[in-house]
């Protein structure tokens, strides 16, 4: 017989985020380096303060094509030779153009020789990309194919449709970050070059580097990025989108075996004093394995593989979204259960729920920051919304102050059960009669539209 007494848990000691060495190059580039013992793969992130509102309305997607074509040839290493020399170092580049910032990444062994060589190539891609006609044309075709793929992939379609429905159409954030077939089709190499020349500037960028370095990485960073120059443009403005009125949209996929459900609100970003309380509320409602939503819809009813409520913050505001996919026959019932399950005015959060949320979030923070990749990702995510890494310590302190009352208050104000926007991608013939009975004023759209 094994031991029957359940062991107690010793709570971890206080956690402090690692401190970077911070410097600024003469061209204004901010540099944050972290020495992380045991991390033999160095991670590099470059964050550009580059909101997508800077894209021309009829060329949306130009920022994405710019990122994707950066490593398709430089003046020094034209066309495919660039990928060859980069891969010869065992390095890999990544990048994405988000609504608020463009983030580029590099991963390479943390030894001096490959690190310095790969970083020089990374800088080459940022500073002097070739943007060949053929390369841009190919990335344009690939982006269009991916957009069309996303349209038929039900989870991605639902997420995009929620964004489009929830955010007022005046705002860039209501539309796909990578553009649509209509806007991407008109982007040329000339557009990409102009976009790069205007917006890839060192004084609006932050470089983050982490790894187990047996050498000082700063000289390699200076050598790679010191000669970067660009127009002295002002720091860009960022949009602060409003939500529209709550609405209900069903995108019809006849015969679909599941319905992908999104129920969302415009909420608050990290700078709001209620942020920690909202995070606790989201965890208790739809983050924990036995959250209020998952305990019933998965573990009791078996309607879904999993249902979650998460908040994705931007620079100004956030989207908080309940999401899950449910088999078609029970999806409308499941949707009908979401509102009562998240209604905390009649069932306020308990101290047990708050304590669980706080210990979970506090406990996984060191896990997330333990690798070079995880650390750079966190620093870059915060830099993209102009927050320092010390935000994490402030957030952990704020979590400790969350009470059942403050979490309940945040949920009541920010996640009103009847105040969300509903998007469902699934078989309309099965879903709509029950949804209508439940009182939802449903608009149906064909998936092909």
Partner 1 sequence: MRCGFLGRMTPSLDYPLYARTLANGLRVQVNPDHAAPIVAVNLWYDVGSRDEEPGHTGFAHLFEHVMFQGSAHVASGEHLTLMQNAGGSVNATTWFDRTNYFETIPVGALDLALWLEADRLSSLADALTTENFENQRDVVKEEKRQRYDNQPYGDAIERIIALAFPQGHPYAHTTIGSMADLDASTVEDALAFFKRHYVPGVAVLTLVGDIEPDEAFAKAERYFGTIPAVARPLRPEAPPLPPIAGVPREVVTAKVPQDAVYAIWRLPARGTREFDSVDLALTVLGGGQTSRIYRALVRDGGLAETAGAAAMPLIGGTSFGYAFARALNGVDAARLEAAFVAAIELFLVDGPTEQEVARAKVQYEREWLGELASFDSRADLFGAFQTLLGDATLVNTRIADFAEITPSEVLAAAQKYLQPDQRAVLTYLKEADHG
Among candidate residues 108, 69, 67, the one with its CA nearest the CA of residue 86:
108
Query: Which one of residues 75, 133, 271, 305 is an interface residue with partner 1 (CB under 8 A)?
Result: 305
CB nearer partner 1, residue 18 or residue 417: 18
In order, the DSSP letters of 269-312 are: -TTSTTHHHHHHHHHHHHTSTT-HHHIIIIIIT--EEEEEEEEE
CB nearer partner 1, residue 148 or residue 168: 148
Cα–Cα dist 436/439, whole Å? 5
Taking CB under 8 A as the binding criterion, the range among 59-67, 125-133, 321-329, 434-442 that sits at the site for partner 1 is 321-329
Q: Are 251 and 447 in contact (CB under 8 A)?
A: yes
Characterize the bridge pairing of strands 443-446 and 248-252. Answer: parallel
Subset of 343-402 contacting partner 1 (CB under 8 A): 355-356, 359-360, 362-364, 366-367, 370-374
CB nearer partner 1, residue 193 or residue 301: 301
Query: Which one of residues 78, 219, 302, 340 is an interface residue with partner 1 (CB under 8 A)?
Result: 302
Query: Which one of residues 10, 232, 234, 439 is an interface residue with partner 1 (CB under 8 A)?
Result: 10
Give the sign of the dihedral formed by CA 182, CA 184, CA 188, CA 191.
positive
Q: Are 110 and 212 in contact (CB under 8 A)?
A: yes
Report, in Å, the least distance between residue 374 CB and partner 1: 8
Subset of 152-171 contacting partner 1 (CB under 8 A): 152-154
Taking CB under 8 A as the binding criterion, the range among 96-104, 200-208, 286-294, 436-444 that sits at the site for partner 1 is 286-294
Q: Are 439 and 184 in contact (CB under 8 A)?
A: no
Subset of 72-131 contacting partner 1 (CB under 8 A): 80, 83-84, 87-92, 107-109, 111, 113-114
- Residue 292 lies near partner 1 (rule: CB under 8 A): no
Report, in Å, the least distance between residue 18 CB and partner 1: 10
Cα–Cα dist 434/294, whole Å? 22
CB nearer partner 1, residue 258 or residue 378: 258
The tokens for 188 are 């040329």
CB nearer partner 1, residue 129 or residue 243: 129
Q: How many residues bind partner 1 (CB under 8 A)?
A: 78
- Residue 141 lies near partner 1 (rule: CB under 8 A): yes
Among candidate residues 447, 288, 379, the one with its CA nearest the CA of residue 33:
379
Report, in Å, the least distance between residue 201 CB and partner 1: 27
Query: Which one of residues 12, 78, 231, 340 is an interface residue with partner 1 (CB under 8 A)?
Result: 12
The tokens for 90 are 């065992």
Subset of 207-236 contacting partner 1 (CB under 8 A): none
The burial of 418, by beta-carbon neighbours within 10 Å (0-12 exposed, 13-18 middle, 19 or more buried), is given as exposed
- Three-state DSSP at 134 gives helix
Taking CB under 8 A as the binding criterion, the range among 54-62, 123-131, 136-144, 195-203 that sits at the site for partner 1 is 136-144
Number of Cβ within a 10 Å radius of residue 222: 15
- Residue 7 lies near partner 1 (rule: CB under 8 A): yes
DSSP-derived secondary structure letter, 57: G
Report, in Å, the least distance between residue 314 CB and partner 1: 25
Report, in Å, the least distance between residue 69 CB and partner 1: 12
Residues 6+ apart with CB under 8 A from 11: 359
Query: Which one of residues 138, 193, 222, 308 is an interface residue with partner 1 (CB under 8 A)?
Result: 138
Provide the angle, in degrees to the nearest 10, between the axes of the packed helices 133-152 and 62-69.
120
CB nearer partner 1, residue 10 or residue 449: 10
Report, in Å, the least distance between residue 441 CB and partner 1: 26
Subset of 33-62 contacting partner 1 (CB under 8 A): 37-41
- Three-state DSSP at 129 gives strand
CB nearer partner 1, residue 152 or residue 413: 152
CB nearer partner 1, residue 300 or residue 449: 300
Cα–Cα dist 339/285, whole Å? 11
CB nearer partner 1, residue 41 or residue 218: 41
- Residue 277 lies near partner 1 (rule: CB under 8 A): no
Report, in Å, the least distance between residue 231 CB and partner 1: 31
Q: Are 160 and 263 in contact (CB under 8 A)?
A: no
- How far the first Cα of the chain sits from its last, in Å, is 62
- Three-state DSSP at 102 gives strand
CB nearer partner 1, residue 86 or residue 382: 86
Report residue 80: phi and psi, to 5°.
-70, -15
CB nearer partner 1, residue 94 or residue 345: 94
């Amino acid at each position: 017989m094994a031991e029957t007494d359940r062991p107690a848990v010793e709570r971890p000691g206080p956690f402090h985020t690692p401190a970077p060495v911070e410097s600024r190059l003469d061209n204004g580039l901010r540099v944050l380096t972290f020495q992380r013992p045991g991390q033999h793969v160095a991670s590099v992130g470059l964050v550009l303060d580059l909101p997508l509102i800077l894209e021309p309305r009829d060329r949306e997607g130009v920022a994405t094509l710019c990122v994707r074509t950066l490593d398709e040839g430089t003046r020094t290493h034209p066309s495919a030779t660039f990928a060859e020399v980069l891969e010869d170092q065992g390095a890999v580049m990544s990048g994405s153009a988000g609504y608020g910032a463009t983030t580029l990444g590099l991963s390479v062994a943390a030894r001096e020789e490959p690190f310095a060589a790969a970083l020089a190539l990374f800088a080459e891609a940022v500073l002097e990309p070739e943007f060949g006609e053929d390369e841009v044309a190919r990335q344009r075709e690939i982006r269009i194919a991916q957009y069309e793929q996303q349209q038929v992939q039900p989870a991605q379609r639902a997420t995009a449709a929620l964004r489009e429905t929830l955010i007022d159409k005046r705002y860039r954030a209501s539309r796909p970050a990578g553009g649509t077939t209509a806007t991407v089709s008109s982007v040329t190499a000339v557009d990409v070059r102009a976009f790069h020349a205007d917006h890839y500037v060192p004084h609006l960028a932050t470089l983050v580097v982490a790894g187990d370095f047996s050498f000082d990485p700063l000289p390699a960073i200076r050598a790679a990025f010191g000669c970067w120059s660009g127009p002295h443009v002002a720091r860009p403005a960022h949009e602060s989108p409003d939500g529209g009125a709550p609405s209900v949209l069903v995108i019809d996929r006849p015969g679909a075996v599941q319905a992908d459900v999104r129920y969302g609100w415009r909420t608050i970003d990290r700078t709001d004093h209620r942020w920690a309380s909202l995070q606790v509320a989201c965890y208790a409602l739809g983050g924990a394995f036995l959250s209020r939503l998952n305990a019933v819809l998965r573990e009791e009813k078996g309607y879904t593989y999993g249902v979650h409520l998460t908040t994705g913050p931007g620079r100004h505001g956030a989207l908080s979204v309940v999401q899950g996919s449910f088999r078609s026959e029970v999806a409308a019932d499941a949707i009908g259960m979401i509102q009562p399950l998240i209604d905390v005015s009649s069932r306020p959060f308990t101290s047990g729920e708050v304590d669980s949320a706080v210990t979970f979030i506090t406990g996984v923070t060191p896990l997330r920051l333990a690798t070079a990749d995880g650390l750079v990702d966190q620093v870059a995510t915060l830099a993209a919304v102009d927050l320092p890494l010390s935000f994490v310590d402030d957030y952990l302190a704020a979590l400790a102050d969350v009470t059942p009352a403050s979490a309940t208050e945040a949920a009541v104000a920010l996640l009103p059960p009847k105040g969300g926007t509903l998007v469902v991608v699934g078989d309309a013939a099965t879903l709509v009669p029950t949804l209508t009975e439940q009182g939802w004023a449903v608009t149906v759209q064909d998936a092909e539209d």
